[in-house]
Amino acid sequence: MEKTIDEKKQGKPLVLEQEKGNTRKLFIESYGCAMNFSDSEIVASILSGEGFNTTQNLEEADLVLVNTCSIREKAELTVRKRLEKYNAVKKHNPKMKVGVLGCMAERLKTKFLEEEKIVDLVVGPDAYKDLPNLLAEVDEGRNAVNVILSKDETYGDVSPVRLNSNGVTAFVSITRGCDNMCTFCVVPFTRGRERSRDPQSIIEEVNDLWEKGFKEITLLGQNVDSYLWYGGGLKKDFTKASEMQQATAVRFSDLLELCAKAQPKMRIRFSTSNPQDMTLDVVETMAKYDNICNYIHLPVQSGSNRILKEMNRQHTVEDYKQLISDIKNIIPDCGISQDMIVGFPTETEEDHRDTMALMEYVKYDFGYMFAYSERPGTMAERKMDDDVPAEIKQRRLAEIVDLQLKHSAYRTKQFVGKTVEVLIEKTSKKSEIEWSGRTHQSTVAVFPKEHYKVGDFVSVKIHDCTGATLIGEAIGYSKNN
């Protein structure tokens, strides 16, 4: 999920249409994963009811909120830098209040107030509905903190406002939290236990988005394949549910089908899948519905069984390869992308070569690769030494990034000469006279604008490509338009 958010959007102020009568000004920015961007839309919606309109101008803000990420140390350092900037601005606007949301808020809790004097408000990912009360405290001059994690909060009843939207693509969150406990990962600690959102409220949101003109949604969760609705509550408590609840439970493949049927012209994506939880009924449902995109983000983290075990991943390299081959059997043109970590404690050159060998086997369409960053409180931090030197991590990272570039170029080239369906999202970054959109496999395609417009589904004949972008020409609307 991590990098589905454009680097350029990280930290950009998020704004929405202004609600008449609101007088207070909210400056809100997000870092990290798509879930954080989606959560900021929920926060803006809650605060709109409290008299706040969003602003892009930090200097005029009454309230500054930063939705933070803890996944790697670097993400936290970026947020610390932003707090310095707010501090400088506050000198000219002493009434300005500053709040920290998201994973860093959850991880550091009240420590934030001691470490960063500028911070008035600390709110964890499950406590956004408490914002009106917390703000009332802050207005009275007290610091306010709520970092309580919840068993059932999914914000299913909050209708998110769409911030910085292109009006075409939107995120819809379906699960919160993660129970997987990968030993390197801070998410289970910052986002709590896994719970699923009521399918009814998901479908209502999808229908509403379609009515507002949106053409593509991404169903979001840390681990979407683990979606399980049995009337509310934690995933781990499912075994305690009544027989009736268990028999009528909605699983991820059911939810996908419900969404695909509710809006047969809406493109549907989902992120993120975990190899240990992904089942083939999901892939079969993808194959059954034209409007579910043939693309799976399937992080593996390492190609070494020994490292996977140390990471507490519940799958082996062999399981993963089997899953890939099953996916390709059911959907031959399915795009697949990865997340990889290099330099996990004890990783040897041989383990690293195993990772490269797995990449050679799959030849991923895309990839998001990271050097291991030790996170306080995780099992890896408590039990293992961060013993791979930084230079070696960086060298291994450069090697897998190079290999991925080669594979992306290989995959992109396969499309040359073919006609693909593209949903137009925006003007191309490189040319004012060209549109940019994505194929089912999530590959970017650019082509001359002609009479087409944003939100159109078009058939594009691909005649060329760069490493990661397809270049073509529209030959008409596609059948989904």
By CB under 6 A, name the binding residues for ligand F3S: 178, 180-182, 185, 187-188, 222-223, 274
Residues, the chain: 481
Per DSSP, the three-state class of 271 is: strand
In the region spanning residues 289 to 348, those forming contacts with ligand SAH, defined by CB under 6 A, are 299, 301, 339, 341
**CA of 31: how far to CAs of 3, 13, 35, 90, 480, in Å?**
11, 11, 10, 21, 34
Stretch that binds ligand SAH, among 47-55, 184-192, 349-357, 455-463 (CB under 6 A): 184-192
CB of 445 to ligand F3S, least distance (A): 30
Please say which residue, 45 or 337, places its beta carbon nearer to ligand SAH: 337
Measured distance CA(178)–CA(358) in Å, rounded: 26
Q: 188 is in the binding site of which of ligand SAH, ligand F3S, none (Cβ under 5 to 8 A by kind)? A: ligand F3S
Measured distance CA(19)–CA(51) in Å, rounded: 8
In the region spanning residues 363 to 402, those forming contacts with ligand SAH, defined by CB under 6 A, are 370, 372-373, 375
What is the phi/psi pair of residue 378, to 5°? -75, 160
Q: 375 is in the binding site of which of ligand SAH, ligand F3S, none (Cβ under 5 to 8 A by kind)? A: ligand SAH
For residue 368, give the nearest of 342, 387, 343 by alpha carbon.
342
> CB-based burial of residue 122 (10 Å sphere; 0-12 exposed, 13-18 middle, 19+ buried)?
buried
Residues 6+ apart with CB under 8 A from 124: 101, 102, 105, 106, 109, 146, 147, 148, 149, 190
Please say which residue, 236 or 288, places its beta carbon nearer to ligand SAH: 236
Q: What does the DSSP assignment read for 147-205?
A: ----SS---TT--PPPSS--SSEEEEE-EE------TT--HHHHH-S-EE--HHHHHHH
CB of 179 to ligand F3S, least distance (A): 8
One character per residue 247-286, x = contact with ligand SAH (rule: CB under 6 A): -------------------------x--------------
Please say which residue, 299 or 455, places its beta carbon nearer to ligand SAH: 299
Q: 1 is in the binding site of which of ligand F3S, ligand SAH, none (Cβ under 5 to 8 A by kind)? A: ligand SAH
Amino acid making up residue 179: D
Q: 71 is in the binding site of which of ligand SAH, ligand F3S, none (Cβ under 5 to 8 A by kind)? A: ligand SAH
CB of 308 to ligand F3S, least distance (A): 12
For residue 74, give the nearest of 415, 463, 447, 373 by alpha carbon.
373
Measured distance CA(345)–CA(211) in Å, rounded: 50
Q: 266 is in the binding site of which of ligand SAH, ligand F3S, none (Cβ under 5 to 8 A by kind)? A: none
CB of 119 to ligand F3S, least distance (A): 26
One character per residue 30-49, x = contact with ligand SAH (rule: CB under 6 A): --------------------
Q: 408 is in the binding site of which of ligand F3S, ligand SAH, none (Cβ under 5 to 8 A by kind)? A: none
13-31 exposure pattern, b = at least 16 Cβ within 10 A, e = fewer? bbbbeeeeebeebbbbbbb
At 457, list the tokens.
């589904």
Please say which residue, 124 or 455, places its beta carbon nearer to ligand SAH: 124
**Residues near ligand SAH, by CB under 6 A:** 1-2, 71-72, 184-185, 187, 222-223, 272, 299, 301, 339, 341, 370, 372-373, 375
